Amino acid sequence: MTLPIRNVAIIAHVDHGKTTLVDALLKQSGIFREGEEVPDCVMDSNAIERERGITILAKNTAVKYKDTLINIVDTPGHADFGGEVERVLGMVDGCLLIVDANEGPMPQTRFVLKKALEKGLRPIVVVNKIDRPQAEPHKAIDKVLDLFLELGADDDQCDFPYLFASGLGGYAKEDLKDEGKDMQPLFDAILHHVPPPVGDPNKSLQLQVTTLDYSDYLGRIVIGRIHNGTIKAGQQAALVTETGAIVKAKITKLMGFEGLKRIEMAEASAGNIVAVAGFADANIGETITCPDEPQALPLIKVDEPTLQMTFSVNDSPFCGQEGQFVTSRQLRDRLMRELETNVALRVEETDSPDKFLVSGRGELHLGILIETMRREGYEFQVSQPQVIYREVNGQPCEPFEYLVLDVPEESVGSCIERLGQRRGEMQDMQVGGNGRTQLEFVIPARGLIGFRGEIMRMTRGEGIMNHSFLDYRPLSGDVELRRNGVLIAFEEGVSTFYAMKNAEDRGVFFITPGTKVYKGMIVGENNRPQDLELNICKTKQLTNHRASSGEELVQLQAPVDMSLERALEYIGSDELVEVTPKSIRLRKMAKKLVKR
């Protein structure tokens, strides 16, 4: 006898506690044995996810509760990974919308909720982190209702069930006055409010591929939901590709989910989420069906990319010294392989065989791809991110973003002024009782390039910035992007303390003494608008005279740490970021000599 099934996705703004809440559900379901060491955010299995504390890839797990199998899909909260959210929402029949009790709905809450409502899902709202001192759970519920109405939800969707929870405390409750013991109220809400999957096990097989995985033993593994029919291990099946071609193959292995493990199954029927091996060339959105009467499901559509940059072979003087994969063929193969699993990415070849135009959802989306590739041993260089313009009804348009800033009161004026120069239009301003103010803007996407560094300087590191794609609108005119000139290395060599100390009044450095540099490499930011070349490899001429100041301890200012994201935001149109497994360097494309 097959168990009743519930398929549910967990959606939320980044850092509102989705993955921690899934941890609590898994612990309560009893999938971990007594005394087993369980890491925090157990679903964030990727190394970059653990380091950054964000979910990047959608992942599946399953738990049993009251003789019902609950398939849970943990989705990313950042709009840059919206492609992951859009494709998995087709696998589920309901969703949990997690909202921070203190912050309320944020830009990505709007984004993921909009996608869920478009799919006709009726979310269960979970107000999380109610154990925090500044939590205002009822206010958060009111804000969520306003957001539902704003997004055009129907009457049934607006009459949403809601609960209060603490993922860290491991409890949920229907009323704030109740004592929070465990996650049972949330499990009960899932059983009660999420409808069982629709699908006929007697019809012809239809399974849509929504996620791809790889195993050294089984090859490509496709994960998806069975919309109709029954699938058996060892049976013959057909794959209807994106072009409509039909490829026949055998199901070599069929697996279901139990906790964090995949378990082998003999067969599964409509409504189940399963992993299937045997289709080496399957891609996301394609349909596995019966070979006798193949019937394809509609392909998954995701929003188009809004930002693009050029990936090219590294041609700096230090090329090939630190990377394992450095040729244009290796770079092309890796980008094409990424297309198989990253549905929101686009890769185009250019006139040059060494350059590829890569388009994505945002700086973080492309930044994670670059970081992943450099960890795999790739060495390459990337250009400044550029927004993608589009023609709508015969009029040139550009992408606009919905931006929310949370800043200290004393920084409000400078933030509003700076965003005005970047063509931002303020929509709302709310003064909090804790000395902080929340500002809401609509701003062209190009006006946000490089703004994160500016807001950090204006708020002394205390500003919080969140944004998500809004829509395409007519061009808004010139955006004022101010930035000082850069300090450029004059020759190849090793930077010295002596030379850097002498040039310290010229600006701030991105490097430390002892760093290997080459002609044209950017080593710092000038205090003035012009670019300036410096000889930072100059050494002190030694004499047999002792200086009177020789005993004084001389120190350099701390350098600015150029992380990958910061470098991508910082570079200008004539500059590149050189990415290797060991280093991130900034350099000029066609360097102009600037005399001192």
What b/e sequence results for 308-321 when a residue is b if at least 16 CB atoms lie within 10 Å of its CB, and e otherwise? Answer: bbbbbbbebebbee
- Was 15 annotated as part of a binding site? yes
- C-alpha separations of 42 from 26, 55, 72, 95 in Å: 9, 11, 13, 20
Angle at 576 between CA 572 and CA 580, to 5 degrees: 145
The Cα–Cα gap between 322 and 194 comes to: 52
- C-alpha separations of 531 from 107, 524, 534, 536 in Å: 37, 10, 10, 15
The Cα–Cα gap between 272 and 7 comes to: 8
SS3 assignment, position 473: strand
- Was 527 annotated as part of a binding site? no
- Was 131 annotated as part of a binding site? yes
Q: Nearest 5°: phi and psi at 493?
A: 165, -155
The Cα–Cα gap between 360 and 345 comes to: 5
What b/e sequence results for 166-193 when a residue is b if at least 16 CB atoms lie within 10 Å of its CB, and e otherwise? Answer: bbbebbbbeeeeeebeebebbbebbeeb
- Was 477 annotated as part of a binding site? no
- Was 428 annotated as part of a binding site? no
- Was 102 annotated as part of a binding site? no
- Was 128 annotated as part of a binding site? yes
The Cα–Cα gap between 370 and 310 comes to: 12
Give the type of residue at 145: L
Of residues 215, 217, 216, 235, the one with CA closest to residue 226: 235
Residue whose tokens read 């969140």 = 466
- Was 19 annotated as part of a binding site? yes
DSSP notation for 179-247: PP--SHHHHHHHHHHSPPPP--TTS--EEEEEEEEEETTTEEEEEEEEEESEEETT-EEEEE-TTS-EE
Q: Which residues are annotated as a binding site?
A: 15-20, 128-131
* Binding residue ranges for GTP: 15-20, 128-131
